[in-house]
Amino acid sequence: MTNSDSRHAGNRPTLLAWGGLILALAALLLGGAAGLGHRAGLWSYTSGFALMGVAALAGLAALVANVIAGLRIRRLQPRPPLRVAVLGGVLGAIVVSLPANQLRLGMSLPRIHDITTDTANPPPFVAIAPLRADSPNPSSYAGESVARQQLASYPQVVPHFYNANRHVVFNEAVEIVRGRGWMAVATDDDGGRIEASVMSRWFGFVDDVVIRVAETPQGTRVDMRSKSRVGQSDLGANAERVRTFLAELDQQLSY
């Protein structure tokens, strides 16, 4: 093989690595735009998910291209730098990992989007109900079928009880809501009801929360409900929101 042939043979994996890197960057930008475009009102969330799928395929192609390029570069003498192939492979893997993780969660978790600590008498949405009028998911609770699925998958979502005065617990809950940056829609101390909305950072999905604080013989009882406005499955987001909120309330009232 002539020196010219050797140079051409060495250029091919290098060009493949650069092509893979460019494809990975394009996939990363497309994946980011998929959610931000929906948040800006440019397209529906289903179109955003479709764009994410395209981005994931592009990321997978970039990952494969850079793995092949890297293996070929390692066999060359003298060896061109591997940095481009490694960076392209890492970016491609990042783009693929998010939808892959969402798919894994979607297959392992129930297709529900309404989580409450009280499935027999869930806290109702009052002030938020009109805001959900045009949402695909109504504000009403679906009932026993959802309750059974929640109990099987999220048995840790239960009411919390406190020895503190009801108004103290209520005020602490309001402070946590505000500290988390949720949009408080209603704070009714007399009725023991807090309603708020939470917007996701990427797609701008809105979930609604209602917290009920009541006096009982066992102490001040706090129930919480979190429900998505769109989508069949919440990928565990509402259960995690309830769990972490009540854990923070426990910590604040443990003094």
What is the reported pLDDT for 166? 96
145-154 own/partner pairs: CB under 8 Å, 24+ apart: 146/112, 146/114, 146/119, 147/119, 147/120, 149/110, 149/112, 150/110, 150/112, 150/115, 150/116, 150/119, 150/239, 151/119, 152/110, 153/109, 153/110, 153/239, 154/115, 154/236, 154/239, 154/243
Only one residue has tokens 């769990």, namely 243
Specify whether the CB–CB gap between 144 and 185 falls below 8 A.
Answer: no
- Cis, bond preceding 78 (omega within 30 deg of 0): yes
Here the tokens at position 227 are: 């429900």
The total of other beta-carbon atoms located within 10 Å of residue 71's CB is 11
Specify whether the CB–CB gap between 213 and 189 falls below 8 A.
Answer: no
Q: What is the DSSP string of 102-141?
A: HHHHHHHS-S--EEES-SSSPPPPSSSGGGGTTSSS-SS-
Give the total residue count for the chain. 255
The predicted model gives 188-204 an average pLDDT of 94
Here the tokens at position 193 are: 């009801």
pLDDT at 41 over 60: yes
The total of other beta-carbon atoms located within 10 Å of residue 79's CB is 10
Residue 80 pLDDT grade (very low, low, confident, very high; cuts 50, 70, 90): low
The predicted model gives 20-39 an average pLDDT of 93
Please name every residue paired with 195 in a beta bridge, in sequence order, or none if there are none: 186, 210
Specify whether the CB–CB gap between 147 and 225 falls below 8 A.
Answer: no
What is the reported pLDDT for 78? 60
- Rounded to 10°, the helix 3-39/83-108 angle is 40
The predicted model gives 164-170 an average pLDDT of 96
Single-letter code of the amino acid located at 107 = M
The predicted model gives 119-146 an average pLDDT of 95
Here the tokens at position 203 are: 């797609």
Percentage of the residues of the chain whose pLDDT score is greater than 90: 75
pLDDT at 46 over 80: yes
Specify whether the CB–CB gap between 145 and 91 falls below 8 A.
Answer: no
Residue 245 pLDDT grade (very low, low, confident, very high; cuts 50, 70, 90): very high
What is the reported pLDDT for 237? 95
The predicted model gives 243-251 an average pLDDT of 97
Please name every residue paired with 206 in a beta bridge, in sequence order, or none if there are none: 199
